[in-house]
Amino acid sequence: MKNKEKKILLSAPRGFCAGVERAIEIVEKSLEKYGIPVYVRHEIVHNKYVVDDLKNKGAIFVEEIEEIKDKSRPVIFSAHGVPKKIHEDAKNYNMTYVDATCPLVSKVHREAENLYKAGYHIILIGHENHPEVIGTMGQLPEGTIDLIQNEDEALNYKNKLNKKIAYVTQTTLSVDDTKDIIKILKKKFKDIQETPKEDICYATTNRQMAVKNIAKKCDIFFVIGSRNSSNSVRLVEVAKKSGCPSSYLIHSQSEIPFEKIENANTIGISSGASAPEVLVENFISELKKRFTINIDEVEIIKEDVIFKIPKKLN
């Protein structure tokens, strides 16, 4: 039996960003051009639904290109970016490769390289073992870039080499978290060089702003996205910090916590940049089976960013 009405505040913008749309299109266009199979090194984007859909179309996912038995088949590098060595390995194997690195991640790679060439020792603000961080650190020789993950590490960081210092950041972090780390670094190192433009990507910023905008009005908040999606996990943190402590990530193995929803009047919903809209629709459909739902989409900014796919696929 359906019981009392629930109001849904649907956060906008949410879901796919231009970098994710481009990466998925690159896999689909590669399948059209080269036939099946095409290989993809690492999950093209961090979402099980997307990966499974591409597997069904003929993409084979591997963690390293060494795993690819038939090196005559093309390989695609994921949206998160890869170390330079991976490009070199593909060339050495004479493999056809298509780079689906998000242009905003490539921008950080170029910034790091330019700063290194200008004589700076580089700090990368990011999360260890995230593929984007591995890719960015892999643009430079070992020992020329250090990772800082939190405020404590920033406080304890020492400029052992006594070189000029600069910093870059992972694109999918929380704007507020990086702000605090940057504040500490600027206090410690008065001449630290920052990049000319903000590294946190426009889509990450917009989705976080949209969540902040509605979180305080919600009794419970759900972010649809994968556990290994950095930007999705950050959205849950942002919702909690912005006034909705009962904020949860809904991923492919999640049970919907209906008993918690029973006691809520207003439900906030957003989705990470690699989560397709169909997952949001499915989640709302499940709620509609039990409750009377009124949906109010709250949009704070229109996104019209499009990234072109590589010429070789046109």
Q: What share of the chain is helix, strand, coil (3-state, %, to 5)?
A: 40, 20, 40
- Rounded distance between C-alpha atoms, residue 75 and residue 6, angstroms: 47
Q: Cα dist. 227→46, 99, 235, 272, 306 in Å? A: 8, 24, 12, 10, 26
Backbone angles phi, psi at 217, to 5 degrees: -90, 0
Of the residues 5, 88, 132, 281, only one is catalytic, namely 132
Place of tokens 């920033």: 154
Distance CA 310, CA 314 (A): 7
Contacts of 52 (CB under 8 A, 6+ apart): none
5 catalytic? Reply is no
Burial class (CB in 10 A: 0-12, 13-18, 19+), 88: exposed
Cβ contacts of 279 within 8 Å, gap of 6 or more: 49, 224, 271
Cβ count near 179 (within 10 Å) = 11
Active site residues: 132
